[in-house]
Amino acid sequence: MSWHTHEVSNQFDELTDYKLMDSDVALAEALEHAGAGWAKPWLRDYGETLGRADSFERAELANRFAPQLQAFDRRGRRQDKVEFHPAWHELLAMYRGQGLVSLPFDNERSGRWTAFMAGFYLHGQVEAGSLCPATMTQAAIPLLRQEPALWAQLGGKLFSREYDGRDLPLERKASAWIGMGMTEKQGGSDVRANATQATPVAAGGRGSEYLLRGHKWFFSAPMCDAHLVVAKTPDGAPSCFYVPRWRPDGSRNAVAIQRLKDKVGNCSNSSSEVEFHDAWGVLMGEPGRGIPTIIEMATYTRLNCVIGSAAMLRQGLAQSIAYTRQRQAFGKRLAEQPLMRAVLADLALESEAALWLAARLAQAFERGESAWKRIVTPAAKFWVCKRAVEITGETMEVFGGNGYVDAGIMARLFREAPVNSIWEGSGNVMCLDVARAILREPEAWQCLQEELRAMAGDDGALRAALDELRDLAALPAAELEIQGRRLAQQLALTAQGCLLSAHAPQAVADGFIASRLADGRWGGVVGALDARKLDIDALLRRALPV
């Protein structure tokens, strides 16, 4: 006898088989504004590939079947190898094949940084863990370029579009991935507390061989072909070293993987603890300049944290709008329910503001604009990454219990979001960097204020926000530190408001400014804004065209 207790109805799967680029009006406008319209055809193709159901399936598989450490082979020989699901390699090959790893550095075409931003943003909407080794590799390029001997070996492999996941000495590979090793148990963000020692093999100095002994509490992507590592030379000065996975003689370098981190999210990507047992490395830069060197690398990786979090905001928004346009409750589609409309409109404002801020930062990196790179980047990383943690929780809730089940993308977004806020400097570190940059570069700070005021025009709320920001930044250093989070938040919100005022449609700009800057009660939870002042229909049509 066959039992039929009910039929499945009013249930809808997550959005797949859609064109990520074609459905994102704001992204297309940001590309045109930056002079990167030339990249649109290629990005449309990549967005279509990423939006297919099989790409979302790869992302799920790569995260469900996490990397596995195989420290020893079957006969007990140390191999320190991490094995991945095939989907991980397919995702890395997809990204590398677009040339995104090296795009900002392998040409001088106008708009290249914004084109890179768009590609990273599209990929991050589907799978974020694979962007970790890609980010570190990209950020290492400008540092390695300053070391002629290393660059001669690595340049072509870093610029390569061919994915090569084999565990072999670099000279036998078609391309290279570079990781990073800074954090130690006792220090965390305080890199000066690092204890790992580097002993010169001969006289020492820039470009010379050293042996490293110590540990790293977080060693990102241990299967990379090399890592940039901070260690102390015999005089106690922190320095930066290039530490390959294989030594020049063809033997495996003495980097022992102790274990892989069992993380909240970012499960497709391997993060590890390692020990250096006299690992072979080459000194990069001058002795004692390790922290400035690695901070230069972190400036690039922090930009990618902003873009990656903006990507999560966008994917959460797109999934929420698509779902609520289908799901019915209390006689109406969810997207027609007034309170849900307020939530969706708030999500739309948050997402577009994050996108325009990321796009402006990408332009600043291309142009070498110190004010945006040194002052706004840490503020953006603080704010956008923090907002992603809250927003992904809200978008998961839009799906109700289905969103909380770990089989779909909504739960993965939620678990993934915190890593960008923590990685490459936690929130407090970012806020302190904002304050220090303002104090150290007063001319850049003045130029930034003038640019924002020009974008603000006669808008009273924007001008008032700029006045508050100016007064905050003028506090004595001791008072500024304790107000660091308020300063970073105010800078990020004001910059977003000015950018939207200059580049976005009036419905978006007015909605953002009215809710974030003019309404003193804003900031509790998503949707707790005066939606009567918003053109919700225009916001949602723009966010995800029907």
Whether residue 60 is predicted with pLDDT greater than 80 in this model: the reply is yes
Domains parsed from the chain with CATH numbers = 25-135 (no CATH), 170-289 (2.40.110.20), 293-543 (1.20.140.10)
pLDDT of residue 294: 84
CA dihedral 69, 74, 78, 79 (to 10 degrees): -50
Is residue 185 within 8 A of residue 240, CB to CB? The reply is no
Is residue 462 within 8 A of residue 498, CB to CB? The reply is yes
Whether residue 1 is predicted with pLDDT greater than 70 in this model: the reply is no
Q: Which residues contact 131 (CB under 8 A, 6 or more apart)?
A: 95, 120, 123, 124, 304, 308
Q: Please state the rounded mean pLDDT for residues 56-84.
A: 95
pLDDT of residue 12: 87
Q: Please state the rounded mean pLDDT for residues 284-299.
A: 89
Whether residue 316 is predicted with pLDDT greater than 70 in this model: the reply is yes
Q: How confident is the model at residue 340 (pLDDT cuts 50, 70, 90)?
A: very high
Whether residue 11 is predicted with pLDDT greater than 90 in this model: the reply is no
Is residue 208 within 8 A of residue 202, CB to CB? The reply is yes
pLDDT of residue 492: 98
Nearest to 40 by CA among 29, 51, 49, 54: 29
pLDDT of residue 478: 87
Q: Please state the rounded mean pLDDT for residues 136-157.
A: 97
Mean pLDDT of the chain: 95
Q: Please state the rounded mean pLDDT for residues 152-171.
A: 97
Residues listed for the chain:
546
Whether residue 368 is predicted with pLDDT greater than 90 in this model: the reply is yes
Show the tokens assigned to 187: 């220090």
493-523: per-residue pLDDT in tens? 999 999 999 999 999 999 999 999 998 888 8
Whether residue 188 is predicted with pLDDT greater than 80 in this model: the reply is no
217-256: per-residue pLDDT in tens? 999 899 999 999 999 999 999 999 999 999 999 999 999 9
Q: Please state the rounded mean pLDDT for residues 10-25.
A: 94
Whether residue 303 is predicted with pLDDT greater than 70 in this model: the reply is yes
Q: Please state the rounded mean pLDDT for residues 188-211.
A: 89
Q: Please state the rounded mean pLDDT for residues 120-145.
A: 97
Nearest to 21 by CA among 461, 470, 355: 355
pLDDT of residue 524: 82
Q: How confident is the model at residue 9 (pLDDT cuts 50, 70, 90)?
A: confident
Show the tokens assigned to 524: 């509790």
Is residue 232 within 8 A of residue 238, CB to CB? The reply is yes
pLDDT of residue 520: 83
Is residue 462 within 8 A of residue 509, CB to CB? The reply is no
Nearest to 260 by CA among 213, 219, 214, 215: 219
The segment with the largest mean pLDDT, out of 174-178, 235-239, 525-529, is 174-178
Alpha-carbon span 408 to 287, nearest angstrom: 48
pLDDT of residue 54: 98
390-439: per-residue pLDDT in tens? 999 999 999 999 999 988 899 999 999 999 999 988 999 999 999 999 99
Whether residue 490 is predicted with pLDDT greater than 90 in this model: the reply is yes
pLDDT of residue 192: 75
pLDDT of residue 235: 92
